[in-house]
Structure 1
């Protein structure tokens, strides 16, 4: 009888090349010959879709091929938990990861593939400086751990220095290309990526994004004006760009996705209306008079000032008139009887907005159509500042409802906006007690953009792998504070050195800023009616840092003088000076489970184990497994209250060379339909 082999848990990150080949084998198996792609057959399958001309449109640069090879090389690193750097570890779902972001993106592929709703990054702008990121794109984790001429003895990356380089465009593109490729895999089908960039690489980034995401998925380029620079010699360039792409515009269309933002000042108008309604009761004329006076008293800079047309009032609140004709012309034409004259009203040149007379009459009955003095002019529609008020939202037709989920009037964003950068600089300096970071992004503006791009998703994941000072995390926390949402953030930041003794690296700044923000939120009294206690309980983050694996991993460059030396080296594959927590979270990550998973310590026949996913996954870190342990885990006692797990993972060293015990474990797992893997 052949010896059964236990399935080993892969300790490297996902092999993207193999994953693509597996997908092709399912989709077009005929192009394979002896397990290799036959390009002659591939040409036959694709026909005229293949471009074979040497002259073609696209973006290329020195080092592009090498940069892409790094995508194809799996990572053998891991992410080690930093409990002391975290806040509220047991309940937190947010992550802050310290490490080289290309390696981290590789390690996140299994657990977070297709799960991220929004990616926002503010990568280093290419001003000719030497990049802190390595220029040798083939070394992976080892390069991160031992930067050539960029790594000090304590293991932190040195600050970048000015360098004259004739190929800095190529270097920047080689740095961005593999990271964007890997980031795309993490997005949900209806996910979106937004990138801050300036003039130096805007043109190249657009072409690069067209290649990685597809030009059909380009959404918009926004311009963020931050203020005039009066010391400029020729023209003040005070703006940056925000380049926005969808993972799949087709998926957005399939879901009928429409992005809207609340009109600034709408809430203030509504609150003033409620105040006047309380004062005047059902006297709409008195409310209108005072509301008009309130609009007039507002300073020109007040956001509600521009919505002063919402000064008429009815039972649904403040409203303004809107056209009642069919958008674009050639709309339906039918009689609408004026309530006073009894004659048909004049029909708009473009036809009525509502396709059927019955729908028009429904709008009239709801009081959402206002007639003029007589029938010689068409009536007009009412547009309320809060169309969902008084539960009329279900009565409104879909083309007439301009409100978001909270019921305030909404608008589509324009591609240009202004926010002075010094406001953000002063805010961060006050929060941190000193100036610790140059050019931080404005978290309030990011919060508005995140809400807009995420649509109605209040529980999605936001990823930022150039985290900097942590503005993305504060934006996410701010949104959750405003609407009680449960959005989560994942930040990745290289431990780049600073000149600040309190914060040796930028990663230290990132973590401390978010601690301060969370502490500030926790010290503020929260309205229990507005926020779920569970949301408040989850405020915090789990900190991790990139490091080599906690297990000995065979590499091709290993140099052993004898077979005995090899056997001795890997008889126990546990790396020394690593904790059970280090090993636990590496197994969690490389099993494709979330780093934010709830992990419950359990006792199995006197041995410590860990249960995840409501007990459906059990991980053993004990180096001693016996028959009693196996019996208990495969057949949990009623007293334990645990289900029969769907997957069991344990250390290979736990069997201490007892092949018979391991074979019995494999057979038992197979008979019960349980996935059984060793590490």
Structure 2
């Protein structure tokens, strides 16, 4: 397969490996609404944030949408969109690698881009995801007005679509709902009790038919119908007779017209196969998005924001209610807002200060039931909530050891949320047993929680430390997940004790 070469490629394709694992530390005062909703807003460098999410969400994200800087040569207020070409590629490669690892088996990633870097991005994504995982390129009509100040009026952007597994994505993706335009094609001029219908041709190209599909016949009105040159009937004569008897062939109100087949709305496919040309009338425009952001913030936050209707269409195709959506270039927060209104869970990552000044306030308004964008179409009345995080310190030292200043409660809260999706209430006094939820218990042996920091002591799962965990479990007797430095118990003992052991803090820390 062809590969793309640039100045720093050899270093860039290994960059994700060297990114440190960091903790995500909650900032309670910036969260809002129902903290148990499973939604996360993260402020920080998205490369480090993605690495921090990997141990907890690898293989869990159903849909990723990103709108990275386009490298247009313009200077945006919130992004440096004037990166030199090789720097842009260096930025994208490691992020795409981590995003790939976060995708579920039936998941998909959608990337907005224009033609300046779009073709290079296609080659990079072919390498990172594999050419067989390429689904299509969507052309989105981003504007309906003409730009007379340019050589060509640039009216469209692209959305590159890749998936983790082509067959699984194809089987799980959703059709688009029937539009009013499509429904308007159906009527019922003969008052058929089966309801509205539309007529379609009853003949096809002659080269596709058998000899039994070439014939003339007499209609109930007595008129003889012959085939047009080079055509054949869709059905053999016996099948055609059955269709006529069942009132599924339409000869017009006079009964003299050429025969056409009746297709009933009640029997039609529930939706439409998504196409690759998304018109502004269906998916909105940049101008529509600017008006949405002005209404929300009193200003246009970005030069080319994406409208809620574009994200609505993507999430409708790619996800179902309850699925997890990720946007690591969150911008003004559109993806998270749309996910919330559509009943999806979300993780949004934004580096700049406007994670606090724009994203969080926007999502607060969504929780409170704001009625802009797709709210009316989704019958959005408010609800839900999110937790706000910032990147904490690296978990490991350069030689792979856990940082000595990582505190037990910080790591415990993070592990609890990753396992249960709910906040951890710190007990007093602290014990290695974090609690139980959904019939499963969770424990952490870390930072001398049992008062023993020796190499073979309190951070290692032994029969002694297991007894201490059991003592703190109270009445709970179900299966147990234990995080620790290592385990001294055999596989047979772990199985007998219903224990799943995970290396503290990440059993995926050796993943590349």
The Cα shift of 1:94 comes to 2.0
Larger radius of gyration: 1
- Give the total of aligned pairs: 481
Aligned to 2:414: 586
Q: Distance in 1 between matches of 2:19 and 2:302?
A: 33
Matches within 5 A, 1:609-648: 609-620=433-444, 623-624=449-450, 631=467, 633-634=469-470, 640=475, 642-648=476-482
Write out aligned runs for 1:416-427 (5 A): 416-418=278-280, 419-427=284-292
Q: Is the 8 A contact 1:630 1:665 kept in 2?
A: no
Matching residue of 2:499: 674
| Aligned residue in 2 for 1:510 | 359
Contact 1:92 1:541 in 2 (8 A): yes
Residue 632 of structure 1, CA deviation: 7.8
The residue aligned with 2:422 is: 598
Q: CA deviation at 1:67?
A: 0.9
The Cα of 1:214 is off from its aligned counterpart by: 2.7
The match for 1:241 is 158
Instruction: Select which of 8, 16, 20 maps to 1:71.
Output: 16
Paired position in structure 1 for 2:49: 104
- The answer to whether residue 386 in structure 2 is matched with residue 541 in structure 1 is yes
Q: Is the 8 A contact 2:108 2:169 kept in 1?
A: no
Distance change (3 Å), C-alpha of 1:308 and 1:677: closer
Q: Distance in 1 between matches of 2:368 and 2:311?
A: 21
Match of 1:460 in 2: 323
- CA spacing shift, 1:371–1:675, aligned 2, 3 Å: same
CA deviation profile, 1:201-236 (whole Å, cap 9, x unmatched): 122112222222233333124132314354514333
C-alpha separation between the residues in 2 aligned to 1:665 and 1:57?
47
Map of 2:350 onto structure 1: 493
CA contact (8 A) 2:62 2:323 kept: yes
Per-residue Cα deviation, 1:129-165 (whole angstroms, up to 9, x for no partner): 689xxxxxxxxxxxxxxxxxxxxxxxxxx966697x8
Structure 2 runs not aligned, ≥5 long: 452-457, 505-512
Give the deviation of 1:493 after TM superposition.
Answer: 1.0
Distance 2:236 2:27 in 1: 61
| Distance (Å, rounded) in 2 between the aligned partners of 1:520 and 1:327 | 54
Q: In structure 2, which of residues 237, 250, 257 is the aligned counterpart of residue 370 of structure 1?
A: 250
Contact residue 226 and residue 421 of structure 1 kept, 8 A: yes
| Among candidates 220, 223, 230, match of residue 340 of structure 1 | 220
| Residues 649 and 180 of structure 1, relative CA distance in 2, 3 Å threshold | closer
Structure 2 CA distance, aligned partners of 1:491 and 1:541?
A: 10
Q: Which of 318, 322, 345 pairs up with 2:200?
A: 322
1:262, 1:411 within 8 Å by CA — same for their partners in 2? Answer: no
Question: TM-score of the superposition, structure 2-length normalised?
Answer: 0.76
SS at match of 1:189: strand
Please say if residues 416 and 424 of structure 2, whose CA atoms lie closer than 8 Å, have aligned partners that are also in contact. Answer: no
Q: Residues 325-361 of structure 1: CA distance to partner in whole angstroms, max 9, x if unpaired?
A: 4589524646998783699976786555468967x78
Give the aligned partner of residue 507 of structure 2: none
Q: Cα 1:174–1:162, aligned 2, differ >3 Å: closer, same or farther? A: closer
- Is residue 262 of structure 2 the alignment partner of residue 382 of structure 1? yes
Displacement of 1:467: 0.6
**Structure 1 contact 468–493 (Cα < 8 Å) conserved:** yes
Bigger strand share: 2
The Cα RMSD (Å) is 4.5
Mapped partners of 1:201, 1:420: distance in 2: 21
Residues 1:236 and 1:377: Cα distance change in structure 2 (over 3 Å): closer
- Using a 3 Å threshold, how does the CA distance of structure 1 residues 171 and 93 change in structure 2: closer, same or farther? same
* 2:90 pairs with 1:262: no
Quote the Cα distance in structure 1 between the aligned partners of 2:206 and 2:412.
Answer: 61
Distance in 1 (CA, whole Å) between partners of 2:308 and 2:218 is 52
For structure 1, the residue ranges without an aligned partner over 5 or more in a row are 1-55, 132-157, 270-306, 394-400, 405-409, 481-485, 497-503, 559-569, 653-661
Please name the residue that 1:91 is paired with: 36
Which protein is richer in helix relative to its size? 1
Cα offsets for 1:392-430 (capped at 9, x unmatched):
x5xxxxxxx3323xxxxx364342522443222122111
Query: What displacement does 1:179 show?
Result: 1.0
Distance of 1:599 and 1:328 partners within structure 2: 67
SS of match in other structure, 1:97: strand
User: What SS does the aligned partner of 2:449 have?
Assistant: coil
Cα drift, residue 548 of structure 1? 1.0
Distance 1:634 1:477, change over 3 A: same
Are residue 447 (structure 1) and residue 312 (structure 2) matched?
yes
Shift of 1:86: 1.6
Change (3 A) 1:331 1:602: farther
608 and 357 in structure 1: CA distance in 2 versus 1, 3 angstrom threshold:
farther
Pairwise CA distance, 1:468:
0.2
Cα distance in 1 for residues equivalent to 2:412 and 2:52: 15
